[in-house]
Amino acid sequence: MKISQNFTKTSKTAPADEQSESAKLLLRAGYIYKEMAGVYDYLPLGMRTLENIIQIIREEMNAIGGQELRMTALQPRDVWEASGRWSDDVMDVWFKTKLNAGGELGLGCTHEEPLTRLMKSYISSYKDLPVYAYQFQTKFRNELRAKSGIMRTREFMMKDLYSFSKNREEHDEFYEKCAESYKKIFNRLGIGNDTFRTFASGGAFSKYSDEFQTLTDVGEDIIYLDREKGIAVNEEVYTDEVLKELGLDRNKLEQHKAAEVGNIFTLGYRYSEALDLTYNDEDGNRRKVFMGSYGIGPSRVMGVIAEKLSDEKGLVWPEEIAPYKYYVVGIGTEGTKVANDLHDKAPEQIILDDRDKARIGEKFADADLLGIPYRVVISDKTLADNAVEIKSRTEADTKLLPLEEFTAKLVQK
């Protein structure tokens, strides 16, 4: 990508009404655009970052047998009435609207009901089970508070997987598999060290649900963490009885603020019963399907990463999710020419700062603000050594890398 051809520009200031530090950086760097409180657009750089996060999650969901689909945001009333969740008293985050043709519809805030109904068309025998279906889909929630930038918005991206199992044993096995998969995902996303499986309130079919909470001062949850065991308890279930049951010692627990980046839940027969999703077992008996749900918020994750890994100069992206890997600046006639050639060779990996009017200091400041993992300078001086000067976003020192070696890195991908 050439900066001269990118329509977004960096800015020294963020909108005055923006309170979240991560959102301020993302706005200033041109990753997102604020439509209104709790509603943001993803600009080209932000979109690439979000897509990289999504791709990591997708690969791990596929690895445990997930099948990707995409459901609609527009939701018919009847299927939610069948489960008792259409009422605003039961579900207080609904956005609803009227159809010109008559009737009412809602904008999906989650997808248990419609997917359960959909599965009635495909699940009828034990041979059809289990099914693990997931999507990346825009959810709408009329959240009361929207002060956390892209970490809590009224329109956001969710990865939601739903499991359909023959029985509890089959469910439990997948549930643990998914919890393991979530650990891999958060490791790959660069927040693994600070993200903990956290016991939270469950439902009729299991005493607890499992949240994945990332330690951060801007988090909205309070958790109690046993660092040695690597597990935590949400304050909502923090009682002597629960600690005893989980074998946790109150004196060893650290209290932290945290943001819920993922959540897995045993749904049991809650929706299969309401919507009559059944199958014939091997003996010909009709049985209810046992369900679970498994969410991750890619856009919230992006906000949490922006919040946690950034520094006073700007964003800092882990390599796997950065929109581009190298921020290349050419200096002098020959340096500019070589920089151009390298960009053309790998335009998906390189941001070329080809602005002739910008000073070098401005270019370096933008490289830092954008959080690109490596800044690369190519000048007549580095070329005299047949090298480029490379600097990691998280280190202060620059070093010379043979031009050939840098070029080989670009070919690798």
Binding site for ligand ATP (CB under 6 A): 110, 141, 143, 152-153, 156, 158, 260-263, 295-297, 299-300
Is residue 236 helix, strand or coil?
helix
Q: Which does 110 bind (CB under 5 to 8 A by kind): ligand ATP, Mg ion, none?
A: ligand ATP
Mask of contacts with Mg ion, 362-391, x by CB under 5 A? ------------------------------
Residues in the chain: 413
Q: Which does 295 bind (CB under 5 to 8 A by kind): Mg ion, ligand ATP, none?
A: ligand ATP
Residue 64: C-alpha distances to residues 37, 60, 72, 159, 182 (Å): 37, 7, 24, 15, 11
Give min distance, CB of 148 to ligand ATP, in A: 8
Closer CB to ligand ATP, residue 182 or residue 374?
A: 182
Give min distance, CB of 109 to Mg ion, in A: 13
Closer CB to ligand ATP, residue 75 or residue 263?
A: 263
Q: What is the dihedral of CA 9, 11, 15, 19, to 10 degrees?
A: 110
CA distance 150 to 45: 15
Cα first-last separation, the chain: 16
Binding span for Mg ion by CB under 5 A among 50-58, 128-136, 176-184, 252-260: 252-260
Closer CB to ligand ATP, residue 41 or residue 385?
A: 41
Closer CB to ligand ATP, residue 186 or residue 290?
A: 186
Q: Please give the sequence-ordered ranges of beta strands (E in DSSP) within 166-289, or none if there are none.
A: 195-203, 206-215, 221-226, 231-234, 254-268, 278-280, 286-288
Half-sphere exposure of 104 (CA within 13 A, CB side): 12
Tell me which residue of 317, 323, 321, 324 sits closest to 410, measured CA to CA: 324
Q: Strands 254-268, 221-226: parallel, antiparallel or unpaired by DSSP? A: antiparallel
Give min distance, CB of 245 to ligand ATP, in A: 22
Closer CB to ligand ATP, residue 297 or residue 335?
A: 297
Neighbour count for residue 346 (Cβ, 10 Å): 18
Give min distance, CB of 197 to Mg ion, in A: 14
Tell me which residue of 356, 357, 319, 259 sits closest to 22, measured CA to CA: 259
Mask of contacts with Mg ion, 151-170, x by CB under 5 A? --------------------
Closer CB to ligand ATP, residue 201 or residue 285?
A: 201
Please report, as residue ranges, which positions from 33 to 62 form the binding site for Mg ion (by CB under 5 A): none
Binding span for Mg ion by CB under 5 A among 8-16, 60-68, 259-267, 387-395: 259-267
Q: Which does 261 bind (CB under 5 to 8 A by kind): ligand ATP, Mg ion, none?
A: ligand ATP
Q: Which does 129 bind (CB under 5 to 8 A by kind): Mg ion, ligand ATP, none?
A: none
Q: At a CB cut-off of 8 Å and minimum separation 6, what does 117 contact?
A: 79, 82, 275, 277
Q: Which does 156 bind (CB under 5 to 8 A by kind): ligand ATP, Mg ion, none?
A: ligand ATP
Closer CB to Mg ion, residue 43 or residue 109?
A: 109
Q: Strands 155-165, 221-226: parallel, antiparallel or unpaired by DSSP? A: unpaired
Closer CB to Mg ion, residue 190 or residue 219?
A: 219
Position closest to ligand ATP via CB:
297
Q: Which does 75 bind (CB under 5 to 8 A by kind): Mg ion, ligand ATP, none?
A: none
Q: Which does 264 bind (CB under 5 to 8 A by kind): Mg ion, ligand ATP, none?
A: none
Cα 62 from chain centroid (whole Å): 16
CA distance 379 to 382: 5
Tell me which residue of 74, 286, 294 sits closest to 164, measured CA to CA: 294
Q: Which does 111 bind (CB under 5 to 8 A by kind): ligand ATP, Mg ion, none?
A: none
Give the residues lining the site for Mg ion (CB under 5 A): 260
